[in-house]
Amino acid sequence: MFGTTQPKEQFAIDAINALAYRSTDKPTFELSKGAEAMANKPLWAIAAECLQHAGHQVDIYGNPQLIAERAMQLGGLDRVTSFAANEDRRYIGASGSPNATPGDFPNILSGLANKFLDTVELDEDYSFDQVSAVMPNALNDFKPAPLINRGTVDELDELQDAEQLKELGLEEEVLSYVFVRRFGNKFGWTPKMIADDDMNAFSEGMLGLQEAWQTTQNRLVLDRFTSNENLLDGFPLFADRPNVGTATNNNIRSGGAVPSDSEWGEMETLYSDIGGIGTQQRVRGSLNTILTPTGEPAQAARRTFFPLNRDGLENKVATTTENVGLYRGEVAVVPESELRSVSASTWYGMRSPTRLRTATVVRGYFKGYGTQGRRERWYDPGNKTIYVSIEGRIAAAVKNWRYAVKNQTA
């Protein structure tokens, strides 16, 4: 046999690790002895060994493209589904499973795709998971569903001796509907790519799929903030709503400026006079997160909120008591370049945006597709191509306007 004495399963695991090692710019895992031996083997040679493991005769001096074509047919025409190794099982359903068990050559390719997607390091400048919360239950329907928002919890009732307990009453409102949308793309392995050992095309294709899914989620969440859509109460997300008692219910600061202690103080003043649903009782806490465009607003936010001993502010000291920084170290700074496509100066202050209770925007994921997308591998005999795809199903909607304030410059 052509260079293979390992059991089939171990051979496949080592092949996946060796190929992933070759295709990653900064490998973070160690190779076994078997994987080390395959680290410099071209793809078509691994395909030939897969054919031999399956009992086929292989001319190792023959046409590499023909070897690739034969090996690509080993998996048949069935679609193989898998998920990220660290996927949240709440969103993949009872029949879902992590990465597929490696076996023949098509499974090695899908196992390679999974390992690459699980270990690749992308830019970490996506902000969606820092400014939105995840709905705890998976979505099961494409039909729009009302997103119910519950009011501020009041104190417990005082009870007289022998008085029966009463049910705690909570005000409710519906400000928007949540509906699922589908997104997906595929990458194809051709016999020529395998014969040419084109790992660069694979790396670029997988990076493209992963980045596209992250970008899709990011824009869906950011659009909820920047579009300032009208909610079911008749007002935009950011607006000066009617007063309820002494609650002024205004969550937009017009004529603002770049982040500073004084501007953040104005934002907090607005936030502190926002009431709950149908009551003048104020929402709790204070603003603790800023979502800001990159550039001047983000630079000002860093100077205002970062501790003096981090991110370029080492050895800096306050020259007066006025610039000590009332909020320094108390506010999380989330810079986002995508905001600049709408406004380079508008920014947002929020209260704990990743908690479901105080979230302004929430994300929901369709059951059976996971939070990181459902991955599939299949063979198309018409064009002799093995495809790897990512499909994500996600909903993003406004849950509550009360825990965010918009700073809009003149």
| Among 342, 373, 340, residue whose Cα is nearest residue 117 | 373
pLDDT of residue 316: 54
The answer to whether 52 touches 4, Cβ cutoff 8 Å, is: yes
Is 70 exceeded by the pLDDT of residue 138?
Answer: yes
Name the pairing type of β-strands 385-398 and 181-189: antiparallel
With a pLDDT cut of 90, the percent of the chain lying above it is 53
Burial 332-369, CB ≥16 within 10 A → b, else e: bbbbbebbeeeeebbbbbbbbbbeeebbbbbbbbbbbb
Distance, CA of 66 to chain centre: 40
Average pLDDT over residues 213-220: 94
Kindly report which listed range (32-46, 107-121, 292-306, 341-355) carries the lowest average pLDDT score.
107-121
pLDDT of residue 159: 65
Average pLDDT over residues 108-133: 86
pLDDT of residue 386: 92
Length of the chain equals 410
Q: Which positions ≥6 away from 68 have C-beta within 8 Å?
A: 43, 44, 47, 191, 192, 194, 195
Is 60 exceeded by the pLDDT of residue 3?
Answer: no
Strand partners, 393: 182
The answer to whether 316 touches 94, Cβ cutoff 8 Å, is: no
How confident is the prediction for the chain on average, in pLDDT?
A: 86
3-class DSSP assignment, residue 67: helix
The answer to whether 194 touches 47, Cβ cutoff 8 Å, is: yes
Q: What is the DSSP letter of 133?
A: E
Confidence class for position 70, pLDDT limits 50, 70, 90: very high
Kindly report which listed range (23-32, 144-153, 351-360) carries the lowest average pLDDT score.
144-153
The answer to whether 407 touches 256, Cβ cutoff 8 Å, is: yes
pLDDT of residue 98: 44
The pTM (predicted TM-score) of the whole model is 0.85
Average pLDDT over residues 387-396: 94
Q: Which residue has the higher pLDDT, 165 or 308?
A: 308
The neighbour count for residue 381, using CB atoms within 10 Å, is 10
Is 50 exceeded by the pLDDT of residue 1?
Answer: no
Kindly report which listed range (111-120, 230-239, 338-347, 398-407) carries the lowest average pLDDT score.
111-120
3-class DSSP assignment, residue 98: coil
pLDDT of residue 6: 59
Cα-based angle 202, 203, 209 (whole degrees, multiple of 5): 90
Q: Which residue has the higher pLDDT, 54 or 289?
A: 289
The answer to whether 270 touches 253, Cβ cutoff 8 Å, is: yes
> Where do we find the tokens 């009332």?
326
* CA dihedral over 365, 367, 370, 374, signed as positive or negative: negative
* One-letter identity of residue 372: Q
Is 60 exceeded by the pLDDT of residue 322?
Answer: no
Name the pairing type of β-strands 385-398 and 172-178: unpaired
pLDDT of residue 241: 94
Report the distance separating Cα 240 and Cα 249, nearest Å.
6
